[in-house]
Structure 1
């Protein structure tokens, strides 16, 4: 017996910040929308965004996601926890298949699958993220001003981030967990008085679970610091579904979209958030999601005329 296919006006893959903002906007247009999310997104890891309008004391990614989901549900948006493994477009219909074997169809599709940071298996690191260990200098460089920062990173990515942080502090130690650092970068680090340690990190030294105090290296040495920053590189861009649909991607696998509409080169397929090439900010992801939803609504109106 063939399972019945569920049909929607729009399917959103990914319930991160961009996906939820789009869901809220489409819900206010009273469209039939399904959001499919594996609940393993990047925003789950951040315990404190401090550069968002209206949250002067900071807000966690988890809180934003919970509030966004409740807000979208008020407008009749449907949610399902699952993982989309396949996306196809045939004529005017788009279908997605999930890991659980279910298939959903829609007129339009929004991909907001984001990226995932490469974080090596270092003991105690996860509880500190967004609290005392940071990822994004644009978001949280301010949090480490004039403090001793341990830059936990790899090769060129870590070295470059250490140099970036000199805008906020002159006390930086770069711990090169893995990867090679070219001589020209080492010279720049030296010029900025940044100490460099080439050694794998065993564990984060914490107080009260999430308060960063330093690191223990695999050679047994302990390095003390006030705050941490990570820059390991090798982040995964989740654009596999876009590739299946024939969506144009950059060499780094980010998706290309129309700057105004956020639609990809494939008609009726949109993308928003960290999946596309931008500054990877929560506020920009919100704008992407809202903008995409507006143009999805326009397309649905046009199709129904």
Structure 2
């Protein structure tokens, strides 16, 4: 086993929020270790949008530039690895990786993102982030006015349809089984010329992640350019292990200073908010890094 190495801050997760926090901390002369497993949730997404100066860039390209800039600060290190445990230790925390390395720090920042739990529909995972989409602000412009589907049911389906119809009039709601929409909701969707189909979706036919058509249990094969869906989300194991409080939507509860319910543990990025966007993650990371540095300064006085 490697000897224990000590840092001011350990950041678990090296995507946008983690890198942004590391930059703020590196510029604050802090000894920082970023531990990253190399599996960001947007790894399949070909283009990122709504991020000034990077609109249309590949997420991997944005992250690569960010990493290069962050590692230019000599007090910041990157470790490629998977964190298996994180726990309170003396006046700080100890983190262990799958490779057996152990590292300590006074503060922890969880920039772990969220794990998407894909539905058991062949083709869904391969299209995720490419033509099966979660956010019209990220991707709606590129598929505007195109034949589009929404995979949802009940209240969420109604609100999703209300939102997406702004980008395209060619909209079909796939409830993937009996509809749980209310009578008024159904009437309103009909008035908006949104077709509702209840036959379960049994497959997605695509070309390298670009949707061609769906396959339904009743034999229908509706052609679509895009399908909006919101798979279930799951926190990473280390978040649950630390015992961080979660809100009613399953996101980490943080205060205005990005601190979790565990003193000394901070969180930023997708694991704290339903707004999954590069720009929002970057902003949260910068804020968390600056706050952690101020807390360390105050503690040293």
Report TM bin, short chain: 0.7 to 0.9
Matched positions, count: 299
Alignment of 1:64-213 (within 5 A): 64-76=62-74, 77-126=76-125, 128-153=127-152, 156-177=155-176, 181-184=180-183, 185-207=185-207, 209-213=208-212
| Aligned residue in 1 for 2:250 | 253
Partner deviation per Cα, 1:54-105 (whole Å, 9 max, x = no partner): 124x122222222222222222322223222322124412112223333211
- Deviation larger for 75-84 or 32-41: 75-84
User: Secondary structure in 2 aligned to 1:66?
Assistant: helix
Q: Which residue number in structure 1 is paired with residue 59 of structure 2?
A: 61
Q: How far did residue 179 of structure 1 move? A: 7.5
Cα distance in 1 between the residues matched to 2:138 and 2:106: 36
The CA deviation at 1:257 is: 1.7
Distance verdict in 2 for CA 1:188–1:83, change over 3 Å: farther
Identify the residue that residue 283 of structure 1 maps to in structure 2: 279
Asked whether the 8 Å contact 2:92–2:104 carries over to 1, the reply is yes
Deviates most, 264-273 or 212-221: 212-221
Please say if 1:6 is aligned against 2:2: no
Gaps of 5+ in 2: none
Correspondence for 1:293: 289
Q: TM-score, normalised by structure 2?
A: 0.87
For 2:178 and 2:244, the matched residues in 1 are separated by 32
Which position in structure 2 is the counterpart of 1:269?
Answer: 265
Give me the whole-angstrom Cα distance separating, in 1, the residues matched to 2:233 and 2:199: 21
Note closer, same or farther for the CA distance 1:125–1:37 as it changes in structure 2 (3 Å cut). Answer: same
- Distance in 1, matches of 2:102 and 2:186, equals 52
* Matched-pair contact (CA < 8 Å) for 1:47–1:129: no
String of CA shifts for 1:18-55, please: whole Å, max 9, x gaps: 11111122222232211112222212232211211012
Distance 1:125 1:252 in 2: 23
Change (3 A) 1:227 1:142: same
Q: CA RMSD in A?
A: 2.5
